[in-house]
């Protein structure tokens, strides 16, 4: 169901993605995340094209944390910030974070290779049904994504939507 990937540049860190549907306690989860009780990023799946997009954001967050150059206060807020094409933190949270009424949630956790306790702690908190992470593509709001990242029709001729999104995320610091 979940998807775990070791970060090649930080071999002792892994990123796990878990996707939930029919979630009934989004407001409570969001509150817990704000208070730091949940150590994970709670992401709105409608803004995700593919799990690879999350890996790109997580790798960049861990990198910036390692060199002490994060733009936000925690690793998890940094992941959400990295997903956004702009440098406005509040906007990133509005678009990529979850809202109280949401019923789908992508949970992203960065952990040590064999720290599985951490993961199960989070799964038990979510009142919802876990579905395969790969299904995130069926929840994407393609039109919204294209609009937010300002993807041009020409651009889609030379690559996929995922390519366009990832390229924006990776290059936003120098734009």
Footprint on this chain of other proteins (rule: CB under 8 A): 5, 7-11, 52, 55-56, 59-60, 63, 66-67, 152, 154-155, 157-159, 163-164, 166-168, 170-171, 173-175
Smallest gap from Cβ 131 to other proteins, in A, equals 21
Which residues are within 8 A (CB) of 60 and not within 5 positions of it... i.e. 6 or more apart? Answer: 78, 82, 169, 170
Closest CA to 109 of 163, 69, 55, 165: 55
Task: Please identify, using beta-carbon distances, which residue of 52 and 141 lies nearer to other proteins.
Answer: 52
Is the Cβ of residue 46 or residue 55 nearer to other proteins in the bound state?
55
In the complex with other proteins, the residue whose CB is nearer, 21 or 52, is 52
- Closest contact distance (angstroms) between CB of 154 and other proteins is 3
119: which DSSP letter? H
CA distances from 139 to 45, 94, 125, 145 (A): 6, 18, 22, 12
CB of 126 to other proteins, least distance (A): 25
Give 134's contacts (C-beta < 8 A, 6+ positions apart): 3, 51
State CA 25 to chain mean position distance. Answer: 19
> Residue 35 or residue 173: which is nearer to other proteins going by CB?
173
Measured from the CB of residue 58, what is the shortest distance to other proteins in angstroms? 9
Measured distance CA(60)–CA(168) in Å, rounded: 13
Least distance CB 83 / other proteins (angstroms): 14
Asked whether 169 and 85 are in contact (CB, 8 A), the reply is yes
- Give the nearer residue to other proteins in terms of CB position, either 13 or 95: 13
């Amino acid at each position: 169901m979940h998807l775990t990937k070791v970060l090649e540049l930080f071999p002792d860190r892994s990123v796990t993605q878990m996707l939930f549907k029919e979630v009934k306690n989004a407001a409570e989860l969001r509150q817990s995340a704000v208070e730091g009780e949940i150590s994970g990023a709670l992401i709105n799946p409608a803004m995700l094209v593919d799990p690879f997009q999350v890996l790109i954001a997580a790798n960049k967050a861990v990198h910036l944390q390692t060199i002490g150059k994060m733009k936000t206060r925690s690793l998890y807020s940094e992941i959400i910030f990295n997903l956004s094409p702009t440098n406005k933190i509040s906007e990133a949270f509005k678009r990529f974070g979850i809202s109280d009424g949401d019923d789908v949630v992508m949970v992203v956790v960065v952990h040590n290779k064999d720290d599985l306790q951490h993961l199960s702690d989070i799964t038990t908190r979510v009142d919802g049904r876990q579905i395969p992470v790969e299904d995130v593509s069926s929840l994407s709001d393609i039109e919204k994504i294209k609009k937010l990242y300002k993807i041009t029709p020409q651009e889609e001729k030379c690559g996929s939507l995922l390519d366009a999104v990832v390229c924006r995320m990776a290059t936003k610091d120098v734009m």
